[in-house]
Amino acid sequence: MRICQIMGGDEDGGLETHFAHLANALAALGDDVSAIAHPRYRAQFDAGVRFHPLDLTRSRRNPLLRLRLRRLLRAIGPEIAHAHGGKAAHLLRAARPPMRVVGTVHGVKRDLSAYARFDAAIGVSAGVLDTLAHPRKVVVHNGVGPPPPPVSASALRQRFGIPEGRTVTVAVGRLVPVKGYRRLITLWHAGLGHLLIVGDGPQRAELSALAKGKPVTLAGFQADARALMGAADLMVFASEREGFSYAMAEALRARLPIVATPVPGAAELLPDSHLAPPEALAATLARCLADIEGSRARMRELFDWAARALTVERMAAATRKVYADVLASPKPKRTVMIRFPPVLCA
């Protein structure tokens, strides 16, 4: 298949990771894959992906940007144009390209109107598609590679100055308000062991001040974050909203028990005993930390499922099936609106 992937952002998060992994995996399957994205992402693509730099961070209502996207898509000539995220979806809809169009919803959004007239809508979890009325909407979870060898528990504690014998709960993600780190640090106390937050972002200074005097370490960006997961006792997500966290997929592949707020993705997969609204998060964490082996046992079947289902190969195959189904279906007729000038009566 001839496929073009389109992304409108310029950040470093789950959407951007998904975009590059999917394009590379489809090219590895033998498809003709192009990618349109901000120039800063060029290095993330394998040689089999044709990269077309286009800065889509400007306003989605910019007529010149819409025109440039439409012309670029015509020049590439794919059978399928696939938009990732709301901005790319709005731009693709406005560009009205002649090929079949698909969009992936990566997070919880109020306005999903851009996807309504696409040939198919993909969600990284069922929850992100709840408010979208569409005859062909499909869930394709984020996939990750196999976990790397973990660091040892003692090496983890020595590296971050955590006392031996103290449990370690890890949180991984950008330091932004939607991740709920302010709430998490506020509720944290010595009875919960040590909290290790891996990631960086605009809230770094604020959260560092809040964590002062608490058994909380803000580790910043760590290139081996996945190896650190393998040495922790528990993973926590305090997010206010989330589509399907890449860190959650990585923790499940590492067979690390998780406690989370009931956001999409987590609410669909985790046992009820590992889900908690914000006001009950501390009590749920304490209960799971008091019986870590029991926590692992409750999630054993989910770990086994994740090893089979949350892979890059499975993600690419499932997405490719959506494309095949779209191409095999009749192309819908598009209504052409003709506007006549008003008739002036004497």
**How far lies 168's CA from each of 35, 163, 188, 209, 234, in Å?**
40, 10, 12, 21, 7
Q: Are 289 and 167 in contact (CB under 8 A)?
A: yes
**The predicted structure's pLDDT at residue 194:** 98
Give the number of residues written for the chain: 346
| DSSP letters for 101-131 | EEEEE-S--S--GGGTTSSEEEESSSGGGTT
Q: Give the per-residue pLDDT at 333.
A: 62
Question: Cβ of 256: how many Cβ atoms within 10 Å?
Answer: 24
Burial degree of 248 (CB within 10 A; 0-12, 13-18, 19+): buried
Q: Mean pLDDT per 10-residue run, the chain (346 residues)?
A: 92 88 97 96 96 87 88 96 94 91 92 93 94 94 95 96 95 95 97 97 96 97 95 96 92 97 94 96 97 97 97 97 95 52 47
**Helix-then-strand count for the chain, H and E:** 13, 12
Backbone angles phi, psi at 309, to 5 degrees: -100, -35
- Residue 216 to residue 205: CA distance in whole angstroms: 14
Specify the DSSP element, H or E, that contains 85: none
Cα distance between residue 260 and residue 238, in whole Å = 6
Q: What is the DSSP letter of 337?
A: P
| Amino acid residing at 282 | A
pLDDT, position 19: 95
Q: Which domains does the chain possess?
A: 2-143+311-328 (3.40.50.2000), 153-307 (3.40.50.2000)
27 in helix, strand or coil? helix
d(CA 72, CA 54): 9
Per-residue pLDDT, 109? 86
What's the whole-model pTM score? 0.88
